[in-house]
Structure 1
Amino acid sequence: MTPEQVSLVQASFSKVVPIAGTAADLFYDRLFEIAPEVKPLFKGDLTEQKKKLIAMLATVVNGLDKLDTILPAASRLAKNHVTYGVQAKDYQPVGAALLWTLEKGLGEAWTKDVADAWVQAYTTLSGYMISEAYPKTVAAE
């Protein structure tokens, strides 16, 4: 990611923080709409999960300019997700739901440059997480 992309992601996320609860609701509603097969991976009330999502996003966004500091946590998170039944293919609808949520939450502030920066951020991080959690799958591709 370029420094400009990092700045765009960080600045745009700061606009989402005040509506974090709504954003989390939008995200999970959209995720379950476009990928209903992942819904059984989430047990019970999603209140805590929604808080974890926003906290994780904040950590990642704030660490984008020092990626090496967040990669160990991303690796652990990815490996933990495997134990919950998450598959490599599940990262695609998660990314789609995240981008959709950001577009809805940011409104006119969701520009092509902001969208491109978020796509780059998600692609970078999800690619790393997939390679950490599913090394044999990535090696086979």
Structure 2
Amino acid sequence: MTQDQVRLVQESFARVAPISDQAAAMFYDRLFEIAPQVKPLFPADMAEQRRKLMAALAIVVNGLSALEQILPAIAALATRHVAYGAKAEHYPVVGAALLWTLEKGLGEGWTAEVAEAWTTAYDTLSAVMIKQAYHRPQAAE
């Protein structure tokens, strides 16, 4: 990722943070709409899960400028996801739900440059997670 992409991701996430509860609900609604097969992997009461999602995103987004420092946390997260039943093929639909949520949450702030920055960030991090969790490289697309 370029420094400009990191800046765009961080600035756009700062604009989503005030609506984090709504954004998290939108994300999971969209995820379950496009990939209903993943719904059983989640608890019935999603309040805590939504909070965890936004907290994890905040850590990752804030750490993008020093990616090597957050890689151990990303790797640990990937390993935990395997225990929850996540599979490598879930990563692309999660990415699609995330990008959709950001587009809706940012409205006019969702520019081509912001979309490209978020796509690059998600592809980079999900590739690390997939490699860690399943010991094989795979594109998130």
Q: Which has the higher helix share?
A: 1
Cα deviation for residue 44 of structure 1 reads 2.0
Partner of 2:92: 92
The 1-side partners of 2:85 and 2:52 are apart by 18
Partner of 2:137: 138
CA contact (8 A) 2:8 2:114 kept: yes
CA contact (8 A) 2:127 2:137 kept: no
Cα deviation for residue 38 of structure 1 reads 0.2
Give the aligned length: 138
- Following superposition, which runs of at least 4 residues in structure 1 exceed 3 angstroms of deviation? none
Equivalent residue runs for 1:27-106 within 5 Å = 27-106=27-106
Task: Tell me, yes or no, if structure 1 residue 9 matches structure 2 residue 27.
Answer: no
Amino acid at match of 1:11: E
Per-residue CA deviation, residues 24-71 of structure 1 (Å, 9 max, x unaligned), is 010000000000000000022000000000000000000000001110
Equivalent residue runs for 1:122-133 within 5 Å = 122-133=122-133
Question: What SS does the aligned partner of 1:138 have?
Answer: coil
The 2-side partners of 1:43 and 1:107 are apart by 30
Per-residue CA deviation, residues 82-101 of structure 1 (Å, 9 max, x unaligned), is 01110000001000000000
Question: What SS does the aligned partner of 1:55 have?
Answer: helix
The 2-side partners of 1:60 and 1:84 are apart by 20
The Cα RMSD (Å) is 0.9
Question: What SS does the aligned partner of 1:14 have?
Answer: helix
The 2-side partners of 1:138 and 1:82 are apart by 15
Identical-residue share of aligned pairs (%): 62
The 1-side partners of 2:15 and 2:137 are apart by 35
Query: TM-score, normalised on structure 1?
Result: 0.96
